[in-house]
Every structure is written in C-alpha cells, then in structure tokens.
Amino acid sequence: MAERVLDGLSHSAHKGHEARLLSVERAATYIGRTLAAIQQMIASGKLPTVRSDRPVMIGIIDLDKWIERHKEPGLQ
C-alpha cells in the first residue's frame, strides 16, 4: 500500500518537485495507520497540519519526523 502512495507521489510531481503535502487519507497510508488514528493525532496536537483554501493537508517531513520520534530499538 505504501508503495502505491509513493508511486502516486512520483506521478504527481510537478516540474521535478515531489509533493510535500498529503491528504489525511494518504498520510494514513504513508505511515500505515488508520484514518481515525491520523484524525486523533491531529486533534490531540501530535501531528501538525497545513490548512489553506483546501482540505487539511499533512507535510511529508512532519510524518517522517513522527516516524523517527517513535522508533524503538529492535530486540536481538
């Protein structure tokens, strides 16, 4: 599923730039969470959003930061 999102991002590139913002639905797919989980993260202030004259969007950089903050060492 994440591969489809990443593939879609490369297809939506404009003039050589990758998309920096994702819809809430695509953000959920990107980090492997449910739509409800992403909405809860937004409501609780754990995930920043970008709002303009369009629906709520989430920055890929913010999603990547969230992933890095929640990494735990693996067991050996």
Write down all domains in the chain, each with its CATH number in brackets: 2-69 (1.10.1660)
pLDDT in tens, 25-55: 999 999 999 999 999 999 999 999 999 887 8
Distance, in Å, from the CA atom of 58 to the CA atom of 38, rounded to the nearest integer, reads 10
Each residue of 3-33: pLDDT tens digit? Answer: 655 555 544 444 455 789 999 999 999 999 9
According to the model, what pLDDT value does residue 38 have? Answer: 97
| 49 Cβ contact list (under 8 Å, min separation 6) | 42, 56, 57, 58
Q: What is the C-alpha separation between 8 and 51, in angstroms, rounded? A: 22
pTM over 0.85: no
Q: Are 28 and 38 in contact (CB under 8 A)?
A: yes
What's the mean pLDDT when you consider all of the chain? 84
Place of tokens 């060492």: 73
- What is the SS3 assignment for 52? coil
